[in-house]
Amino acid sequence: MIIGGGPGGYEAALVGAQLGAEVTVVDCDGLGGASVLTDCVPSKTLIATAEVMTTFDSSYEELGIIVADDTPHVEQAARVVGVDLGKVNRRVKRLALAQSHDITASVTRAGARVMRGRGRLDGLQAADGSRQVVVTAADGTEERLTADAVLIATGGHPREIPDAQPDGERILNWTQVYDLDELPEELIVVGSGVTGAEFAGAYQALGSRVTLVSSRDRVLPGEDPDAAAVLEDVFRRRGMNVMARSRAQSAKRVGDRVEVTLADGRVITGSHCLMAVGAIPNTAGMGLEEAGVRLKDSGHVLTDRVSRTSAPGVYAAGDVTGIFALASVAAMQGRIAMYHFLGDAVAPLNLKAVSANVFTDPEIATVGYSQADVDAGRIEARVVKLPLLRNPRAKMQGIRDGFVKIFCRPGTGIVVGGCVVAPRASELIHPISIAVDNNLTVEQIANAFTVYPSLSGSIAEVARQLHTRKLTGEG
């Protein structure tokens, strides 16, 4: 039995059904969960439109592209001058629903049963090892089911500040922005983590005047500091008002405006406000603690590396566990849980092999050990960072911001981590991810052929520099 249809839930369902298990997925919104319906897929679709705007605005002059100032004839192609946000958001929601339908079709085709409703555990494990799950349908009717094992994959929902309650019109959370028909003229984004930074960059590219309110001393406080510095510089250079060390205390509507009051008494105003202040796990009212499932103080489910909870026969996967809020990690946790329950060979979750990406412009991709790990002494590693300004392909494309950074062990040269800041860094991080996952050395990366010219050539160049330092004992 799987409660929740996010990546952890539907991937577990696919694995279980394909291996011959009788699988039921209980979900109230649609398979794919928040990742597909209100978070990852919608936001990255919106960002894809913003990328086109950014690419055009930031490079056409340097590349010698001439833009006419006058309005062309009706039959001629016009230059990019703005965005129809209503049309963009209709496309966003259409693609999200289509993806959800595709997932549902895949799961049912594999042989799993999909039930619409909300599931909760009922009591402790029975003497025969089974678990009772109560499913409540939208009309209030209940159905009691028996399961040999239960996977909790219920995800999370936007965290709210008591004095900044979203109204869905002017004060918004990250699930409500896709209902906007018109581009916000002045958008205040509260929160400078991944979600806040992504939306701030996207709306700035689409044409909004953006103020990013950060309670920390820099944007993306959880990311590589060099990468965060590059992004913040890009944001400011493009006209964004980045307010560091500024904690939002409240937000309220005043007519067609929004006033955000900061903890130090300052008040900033805009046409809209987006609250991006984190997420809360969907664990309330599910009977988890009564069933013996231990929760963290944050409300997240406590799990081990094979997705087991403290309650026998109960597993958990995805954002509800508080372990890397990434669809890829959720999916892996779900697959691991199903393999473990069915007695198949399984490798425990290895967080140091996880690659992640921040979909800003430029993107920030990371894998393995980080600069923070090196600085804190958690691992001894050599580090080389190479600016993209030196890369011939980057020069040809007018790319000025970004770098490639790789971490390797001093004695062996084994690659243990990396960070890429570049357009499509999400694609460039893959060879470093392969190196980390397979304990490859910088020498092996350096000796592999790369296309010339290419941005990936910088990865090989960093590896060559690290290999040289290993031989000479420098760094």
CA distance 259 to 269: 5
User: Virtual CA dihedral for 410, 416, 417, 418, nearest 10 degrees?
Assistant: 60
Q: What is the pLDDT of residue 73?
A: 55
Question: What does R_g of the chain's alpha carbons equal in angstroms?
Answer: 24
State which CATH number among 2.40.70.10, 3.40.50.720, 3.40.30.10, 3.50.50.60 fits the domain covering 171-277. Answer: 3.50.50.60
Position of tokens 């009706």?
74
Q: What is the pLDDT of residue 69?
A: 57
CA distance 187 to 191: 13
Position of tokens 């190479």?
386
Tell whether residue 217 is among the known ligand binding residues. Answer: no
Tell whether residue 193 is among the known ligand binding residues. Answer: yes
Per-residue exposure over 93-129, b if at least 16 CB sit within 10 Å of its own CB, e if not: bebbeebbeebbeebeebebebbebbbbbeeebeeee
Count the Cβ atoms, other than its own, within 10 Å of residue 345. Answer: 6
CATH 3.10.129.10 for the 2-68+77-158+281-351 domain, yes or no = no
Tell whether residue 318 is among the known ligand binding residues. Answer: no
Task: State both tokens at 75.
Answer: 């039959």
CA distance 36 to 153: 14
3-state DSSP assignment of residue 248: strand
Position of tokens 């958990």?
316
Return the CATH class of domain 362-466.
alpha beta
CA distance 12 to 167: 36
List CB contacts of 446: < 8 A, sequence separation 6 or more.
460, 463, 464, 466, 467
Tell whether residue 195 is among the known ligand binding residues. Answer: yes
Per-residue pLDDT of the chain (475 residues; tens, 9 = 90+): 999 999 999 999 999 999 999 999 999 999 999 999 999 999 999 999 998 887 766 566 677 777 665 555 555 444 556 899 999 999 999 999 999 999 999 999 999 999 999 999 999 999 999 999 999 999 999 999 999 999 999 999 999 999 999 999 999 999 999 999 999 999 999 999 999 999 999 999 999 999 999 999 999 999 999 999 999 999 999 999 999 999 999 999 999 999 999 999 999 999 999 999 999 999 999 999 999 999 999 999 999 999 999 999 999 999 999 999 999 999 999 999 999 999 999 999 999 999 999 999 999 999 999 999 999 999 999 999 999 999 999 999 999 999 999 999 999 999 999 999 999 999 999 999 999 999 999 999 999 999 999 999 999 999 999 998 766 666 5
Count the Cβ atoms, other than its own, within 10 Å of residue 166. Answer: 19
Count the Cβ atoms, other than its own, within 10 Å of residue 318. Answer: 37
Candidates 421, 424, 387, 419; CA nearest to 406 is 419
Q: What is the pLDDT of residue 465?
A: 96
List CB contacts of 73: < 8 A, sequence separation 6 or more.
none
Phi, psi of 419, rounded to the nearest 5 degrees: -145, 130
Tell whether residue 194 is among the known ligand binding residues. Answer: yes
Tell whether residue 127 is among the known ligand binding residues. Answer: no
Position of tokens 């960002």?
47
Q: What is the pLDDT of residue 78?
A: 46
Tell whether residue 191 is among the known ligand binding residues. Answer: yes
Tell whether residue 119 is among the known ligand binding residues. Answer: yes
3-state DSSP assignment of residue 9: helix
| All structural domains of the chain with their residue ranges | 2-68+77-158+281-351, 171-277, 362-466
Tell whether residue 420 is among the known ligand binding residues. Answer: no
The angle subtended at Cα 410 by Cα 406 and Cα 412, nearest 5°, is 95
Sheet with 118-121: strands ordered across: 118-121, 131-136, 142-147
Same fold? 2-68+77-158+281-351, 362-466: no
3-state DSSP assignment of residue 25: strand
Phi, psi of 432, rounded to the nearest 5 degrees: -70, -35
Q: What is the pLDDT of residue 50?
A: 92
Position of tokens 């990546």?
7
CA distance 249 to 262: 5
Which residue pairs from 173-179 have beta carbons closer than 8 angstroms and sit at least 24 positions apart in sequence?
A: 173/274, 173/275, 173/276, 174/38, 174/39, 174/43, 174/199, 174/274, 174/275, 174/276, 175/34, 175/38, 175/39, 177/46, 177/89, 177/274, 178/38, 178/42, 178/46, 178/89, 178/92, 178/93, 179/89
- Bridge partners (DSSP) of residue 219 are none
CA distance 98 to 176: 19
- Bridge partners (DSSP) of residue 213 are 190, 243
Position of tokens 């609250």?
275
Which residue pairs from 305-309 have beta carbons closer than 8 angstroms and sit at least 24 positions apart in sequence?
A: 305/348, 305/349, 306/336, 306/337, 306/340, 306/346, 306/348, 306/349, 307/151, 307/333, 307/334, 307/336, 307/337, 307/340, 307/349, 308/337, 308/340, 309/152
Q: What is the pLDDT of residue 56?
A: 65
pTM of the model: 0.93
